[in-house]
Amino acid sequence: MTRFLYFSLTLVFLMLWSSCRKDFEFAPSTGSLQFSKDTVYLDTIFTNIGSSTYNLKVYNKSDNDIVIPNISLKEGFNSLYRLSIDGMLGENNGTSGSEGKVFENVEVLAKDSLFIFIETTVDIENQAATANQFLYTDAIEFDTGNNQQTVELVTLVQDAVFIFPDRDNTTKVIDTLTLNIAGELIVTDLQGRELLSDELTFTNEKPYVIYGFATVPPNETLTINAGARVHFHDNSGIIVPNEASINVNGTFSNDQDLLENEVIFEGDRLEPNFSETTGQWGTIWLLDGSINNTINYATIKNSTIGILSDGNPNETKDKLTITNSQIYNSSSFGILGRNTSISAENLVINNSGLSSFAGTLGGKYNFTHSTLVNYWNNGFRQFPAVLLNNFVLDEDNNATIADLTEANFNNCIIYGNDNPEILLDEIEDDNVVFNFKFTNCLIRFNDTNNNYTGDNYNFDDTLKYEGNIFNKEPDFKDTDLNQLMIGEDSAANGEGLAAFSAQVPVDILNTNRTGSPDLGAYQHVAFPEED
């Protein structure tokens, strides 16, 4: 009874109190709003592609409920910015898309705030006919006259060459790919199209933005010049089919922050929050039958699989030669080879959801002065940094096996945040070979539970292992930032075999290594002392 009486009295008090309040009596604003930012930078966007949504918080720190008579973009209904205020889209001047420009009588309670969400889409051709970049600006104006307050809006708009699948007049994609795989035409459900003859050379004049899979025509070569930037939308990539090639012709960059001469492959989200996000696009896929593929001084980042190479294990010239290149932030594999042939020098791979390098279903692989590590920190990782096997399983768990003709790792670093970081997964068969050798490598492999037995893990067998260092500290600069340079205290310092350094006389930073070669893609440097 007492509890019921207390509840009733409380309810009556609240009703009387609320009836005495002058609710909904909002005083005009006095120009004393406060903002979470003085200027909202919407980062860089590509022309005609919408930005991410950015926000601005507006505070009423006074003791009065206020009404802001007008919140609008300075350019009014002509502005290319769009606003929403706490879910409201604003006035409409009768034309399509005019919402989100002008708002009237916006109420803010005392000691409260409101959110403004901001987006933009800009066609650079309507702004500057000859510029590849254009700074688009506007401002949000709060109130008018002496009470007016302003927050600036700034967006850098970048022109690009866009490669889209063809669409019909309802914007439905009508181009799906039929691929020539080792001479057989295979119909797929992949969206994309063949590159036209005038699209087979990518220059450094403008970035390229690819939607869907851009396919190199048979008997043609896609040439990508030094300094080119190639961006991919979600579920996009490059496919190199039968009798086609890709040549990536980057060169050394003096500025290692700008990488002005390197070719960079990444996603099409330019905001800083996406700069290291994995799995934003598909892969560079070298189909069975593609030939003479070369990649020099390239950075491949934020893909699902950096490079997927299929077939051609016995070609006189390796299917893929990759040099002085970096592959980071792949949500599954950095490089996945399937019964293929790859030669690599001064290659760096890190941060892969599965393996940084996997050579599966046999093949032929030669890696010299490469840093093949995996410091994946986005969850559980199933496979080691380097995986070799000689089989593939079908849906019924039946195995197809093939020769691992050779897999040589010379003067390399194979390391990571798991243990062990190599896996040699062989199905033994008298009709196939499983040949590999690690020579003068720094390797993380500490089998404390004796889980790895058999001849493939006999580290005293000089036909398979020679001159290697196990479980010593590589002393990388910063694995989280994909900075795989080694310091003076690295166990790889001075441990390279001269015969291999003579084949690759300078490191990935163009430093001579022939005098005292280190392991991996980098010669050691002195790291600055921490304060």
Phi, psi of 261 (to 5 degrees): -105, -5
In a domain, 89, yes or no: yes
Q: pTM here? A: 0.86
Is the domain of 202 the same as that of 287?
yes
Q: Of 136, 158, 180, which residue constitutes the final position of a domain?
A: 158
Residue 272 confidence (pLDDT)? 84
Is the domain of 96 the same as that of 171?
no
Is the domain of 467 the same as that of 480?
yes
Residue 172 confidence (pLDDT)? 43
Is the domain of 374 the same as that of 497?
yes
In a domain, 282, yes or no: yes
Is the domain of 361 the same as that of 228?
yes
Q: Which tokens go with 21? A: 């309040």
In a domain, 2, yes or no: no
Q: Of 133, 158, 183, which residue constitutes the final position of a domain?
A: 158
Residues 202, 219: Cα–Cα separation, whole Å: 18
Is the domain of 400 the same as that of 495?
yes
Residue 45 confidence (pLDDT)? 87
Q: Which residues contact 255 (CB under 8 A, 6 or more apart)?
A: none
Residue 244 confidence (pLDDT)? 95
Residues 272, 321: Cα–Cα separation, whole Å: 32
Is the domain of 62 the same as that of 98?
yes
In this prediction, the residues of the chain whose per-residue pLDDT falls under 50 are 1-9, 11-22, 168-174
In a domain, 283, yes or no: yes
Q: Which tokens go with 238? A: 């490059």
Residues 62, 43: Cα–Cα separation, whole Å: 33
Is the domain of 152 the same as that of 165?
no
In a domain, 93, yes or no: yes
In a domain, 149, yes or no: yes
465: enclosing H helix or E strand: strand 465-466
Is the domain of 243 the same as that of 380?
yes
In angstroms, what CA-CA distances link 522 with 113, 227, 315, 470?
52, 22, 30, 19
Got the DSSP string for 412-430? -EEEESSS--EEEE----T
Domain count, the chain: 2
9: enclosing H helix or E strand: helix 2-20
Is the domain of 335 the same as that of 197?
yes
Is the domain of 213 the same as that of 68?
no
Is the domain of 43 the same as that of 133?
yes
Quote the domain boundaries for residue 331. 161-503
The CATH number given to whatever domain includes residue 136 is: 2.60.40.10
Residue 164 confidence (pLDDT)? 84
Q: Of 158, 192, 219, which residue constitutes the final position of a domain?
A: 158
In a domain, 178, yes or no: yes
39: enclosing H helix or E strand: strand 39-46
In a domain, 358, yes or no: yes
